[in-house]
Amino acid sequence: MRYQMTTLEKNIHDLYIFLSIDSPDDIEMYYIAENLDIWIHYWNRGSKMQCVNGLYSIVLDERKANREQWQDFGHELGHVIKHVGSQHKLRQMFRELQENQANNFMYHFCVPTFMLLKYNLTNYINVNDGVDFVADTFNVTKEFAKKRLVHYRNQWAQAKSDAAHRKYMESRYRKAPPYSDETNKILARALEFKSAKRKEDHQCQFNI
């Protein structure tokens, strides 16, 4: 079965291809930032994104390990790409929405689906069997890898369910010609009836 990527997954694929990155070995945070005109800074507080005079910066928490900084970079990049303006000015509900969107972007950006598809990861009954591989291959924490694999497995399960449903519906309802001889006869009779009804209505108008 062929996997159908979501809009977000396609957009991230296109972004990586634009950056000439097509494998985990080529992913490098500073290279990505440089090619997207984003400055990287460090401080001893929580990571954040900021924009000053149209120039974007991602400020990372220097207290965190490299893998956690890479994950934070993905999260803040989600804000750069998807959101505009200062978050602290937004109502709480919209801030939470943006945080959820940035988190979703982070998981897909740090572990891109089009790269995952190159590996045989869909047969894991227990996602824990693939955690170490994903964590080491994509330079993320094990907790991050597990969450990403759970989401990836669920997407495959949904895709298989959708494919089975489509197959079932197509077996019950034929959507397009060629129709059977019986169906063609019924359609022909319906057209004849429709044509005769129009003639009858036309004649009635003139009789009036």
The tens-digit pLDDT sequence of the chain (208 residues) is: 678 899 999 999 999 999 999 999 999 999 999 999 999 999 999 999 998 888 999 999 999 999 999 999 999 999 998 755 445 555 565 667 788 899 999 999 999 999 999 987 755 556 788 899 999 999 999 999 999 999 998 888 777 766 665 676 666 665 556 666 777 777 777 777 766 765 555 455 545 4
Residues 13 and 42 in one domain: yes
User: In 3D, which of 57, 56, 31 has the Cα closest to residue 42?
Assistant: 57
Q: Residue 159 sits in which domain range?
A: 7-165
- Name the pTM for this structure: 0.73
Residues 152 and 182 in one domain: no
Residues 103 and 194 in one domain: no
ω before 112 within 30° of 0 (cis)?
no
State the DSSP H helix or E strand holding residue 52, giving kind and residue range, or none if neither. strand 48-52
Does some domain include residue 171?
no
Structural domain total, the chain: 2
Residues 133 and 72 in one domain: yes
Residues 31 and 133 in one domain: yes
